[in-house]
């Protein structure tokens, strides 16, 4: 007997799905197209790393998701941002505000700038509970100590009254993580969380994020320009260039066999112990101005394998297949000649 419609399981939507997002900024020199049709998704318990050079649109995409885009000069001109199937971009502002922080939280790049220098860290952590949960000052301070303990800040009870400048860079970043965790969100967006930290502290912060993400089964979007940071923590990677996604792949497959020349160039730029004494590879040229993105493939002026087709025709994201023509799950490349790059 065939199953009825009621018996057929309904697939759950992704935790977050960005679909064709477009963002532009109006400047005195013209319109800067910062995000040009970006699409990606992340599920509960999954880590998506978004990679690319400065100006590629990574952080602007995150700001649009969070609803904190400076408007004006920025404005969203197209696309959808679906949280559990509901479009955040068409949601009433009061409803959107209830999602921000409680369901989707963000860790900002510069912890010292993000924290208020005139209030203690305990007061700032406790404010989340006073505003959203109606807690008393005493109870909110106890929750602040609990959060500081959770992110392994030593002597949290004694330091809850200290100010941001009294903490090291790594400890301030832990405070930002604690603030993001405060209301138990389903998704955290971490925007360059290890910038300006030394290598040892970077590893500690990334390890803490990975541990908390696994413990609470949160989705995590990790924005960075450093491929070395994400190798051990990401499940999949989206590479951005000039406001577009140019490649997506499971993390280990992307490192082993990139399918876009830009990704290949980024990987070649990573310092390696077995190349000591050799000149470090660098992608020639500079990222394009978002006021004048080149025709065709935006990467073509810097690409070593560009042809006339690359200068005339915009490549769209397409599925990458193996030597036998079988599609590789989660693998896409926006390159006319992805086969040569992937299999070369």
> Which regions of 52-152 does DSSP assign to beta strands (E)?
74-83, 86-87, 104-107
What are the chain's domains? 16-110+187-272+281-343 (3.40.50.300)
* b (16+ CB within 10 A) / e for 223-237: bbbebebbbebbbbb
Element (H, E) at 189: strand 187-191
pLDDT of residue 8: 53
**What is the model's pTM?**
0.90
CB 240 within 8 A of CB 225: no
CA gap 39, 99 in Å, rounded = 21
Q: Which of 293, 299, 280, 284 is closest to 341 using CA atoms?
A: 299
Closest listed residue to residue 189, CA positions, set 88, 86, 47: 47
Query: Given the DSSP bridges, would you call strands 236-241 and 47-51 parallel, antiparallel or unpaired?
Result: parallel
CA distance 25 to 291: 9
Walking along the chain (344 residues) 10 residues at a time, the average pLDDT comes out as 53 90 95 96 95 93 94 94 95 90 89 90 94 92 95 94 94 93 93 83 87 90 86 92 96 93 91 74 90 95 94 94 82 91 71
d(CA 176, CA 155): 17
Task: Determine the pLDDT at residue 279.
Answer: 80
């Amino acid at each position: 007997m065939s199953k009825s419609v009621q018996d057929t399981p309904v697939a759950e939507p992704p935790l977050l799905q960005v679909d064709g997002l477009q963002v532009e900024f109006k400047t005195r020199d013209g319109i800067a197209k910062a995000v040009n049709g970006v699409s990606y998704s992340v599920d509960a318990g999954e880590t998506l790393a978004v990679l690319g050079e400065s100006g590629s649109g990574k952080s602007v995409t995150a700001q649009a998701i969070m609803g904190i885009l400076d408007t004006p000069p920025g404005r969203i001109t197209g696309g959808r941002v679906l949280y559990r199937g509901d479009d955040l971009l068409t949601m009433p502002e009061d409803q959107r505000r209830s999602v921000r922080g409680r369901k989707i939280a963000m860790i900002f790049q510069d912890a010292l700038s993000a924290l208020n220098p005139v209030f203690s860290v305990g007061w700032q952590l406790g404010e989340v509970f006073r505003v959203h949960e109606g807690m008393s000052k005493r109870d909110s301070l106890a929750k602040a100590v609990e959060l500081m303990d959770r992110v392994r800040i030593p002597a949290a009870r004694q330091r809850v009254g200290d100010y941001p400048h009294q903490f090291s860079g790594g400890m301030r970043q832990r405070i930002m993580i604690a603030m993001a965790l405060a209301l138990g969100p389903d998704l955290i967006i971490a925007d360059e969380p290890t910038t300006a930290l030394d290598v040892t502290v970077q590893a500690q912060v990334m390890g803490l994020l990975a541990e908390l993400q696994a413990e609470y089964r949160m989705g995590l979007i990790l924005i960075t320009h450093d491929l070395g940071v994400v190798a051990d923590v990401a499940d999949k990677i989206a590479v951005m260039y000039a406001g577009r996604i140019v490649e997506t792949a499971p993390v280990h497959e992307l490192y082993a066999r990139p399918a876009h020349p830009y990704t290949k160039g980024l990987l070649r730029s990573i310092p390696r112990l077995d190349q000591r004494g050799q000149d470090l590879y660098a992608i020639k040229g500079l990222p394009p101005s978002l006021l004048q993105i080149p025709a065709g493939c935006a990467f073509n002026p810097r690409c070593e394998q560009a042809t006339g087709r690359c200068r005339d025709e915009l490549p769209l994201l397409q599925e990458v297949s193996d030597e036998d023509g079988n599609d590789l799950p989660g693998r896409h490349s926006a390159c006319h000649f992805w086969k040569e790059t992937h299999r070369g």
